[in-house]
Amino acid sequence: MAGGGGAAATARWACAVLAVLPLLVAAAEARGRYRAVFNFGDSLVDAGNLVTDGIPDYLATARLPYGQTYFGYPTGRCSDGRLVVDFIGKFRQLLEVLFFASLAKWLCSEFDGFWLLCSPAAQELGLPFLPPSKAKNASFARGANFAITGATALDTEFFQKRGLGKTVWNSGSLFTQIQWLRDLKPSLCNSAQECKDFFAKCLFIVGEFGGNDYNAPLFAGKDLKEAYKLMPHVVQGISDGVEQLIAEGAKDLIVPGVMPSGCFPVYLTMYTDPKEGHGSRTGCLKRFNTFSWVHNAMLKRALEKLRAKHPGVRIMVLQTTTKSMLWCSRQGPLQLQSNSKMR
Instruction: Give pLDDT tens digits for 43-56.
Output: 888 888 888 766 66
Query: At 191, which amino acid appears?
Result: S
- pLDDT value of position 13: 46
d(CA 334, CA 153): 32
- pLDDT value of position 96: 47
Q: Is 283 left (phi over 0), alpha (psi -120 to 50) or beta?
A: left
Averaged pLDDT, 134-140: 88
Instruction: Give pLDDT tens digits for 160-181.
Output: 999 999 998 777 999 999 999 9
Q: Is the pLDDT of residue 129 over 90?
A: no
Averaged pLDDT, 256-284: 90
Query: At 136, which amino acid appears?
Result: K
Averaged pLDDT, 15-27: 51
Averaged pLDDT, 322-342: 48
Q: Is the pLDDT of residue 2 over 50?
A: no
Q: Is the pLDDT of residue 92 over 50?
A: no
DSSP structural state of residue 97: I
- pLDDT value of position 123: 33
- pLDDT value of position 56: 67
265 pLDDT band, cuts 50/70/90, is confident
Instruction: Give pLDDT tens digits for 209-256.
Output: 999 999 999 999 999 999 999 999 999 999 999 999 999 999 999 999
Higher pLDDT, 128 or 300: 300
Q: Are 17 and 322 in contact (CB under 8 A)?
A: no
Query: At 11, which amino acid appears?
Result: A
Higher pLDDT, 10 or 244: 244
Beta bridge partner(s), residue 144? 38
318 pLDDT band, cuts 50/70/90, is confident
**Bond into 217 cis (ω within 30):** no
Q: Is the pLDDT of residue 71 over 80?
A: yes
Most confident of the following: 57-61, 131-135, 332-336: 131-135
- pLDDT value of position 135: 87
70 pLDDT band, cuts 50/70/90, is confident
- Identify the weakest region by mean pLDDT among 25-29, 290-294, 299-303, 325-329: 25-29
Q: Is 237 left (phi over 0), alpha (psi -120 to 50) or beta?
A: alpha
Q: How far is CA 234 from the centre of its chain?
A: 16
SS3 200: coil
Q: Are 257 and 231 in contact (CB under 8 A)?
A: no
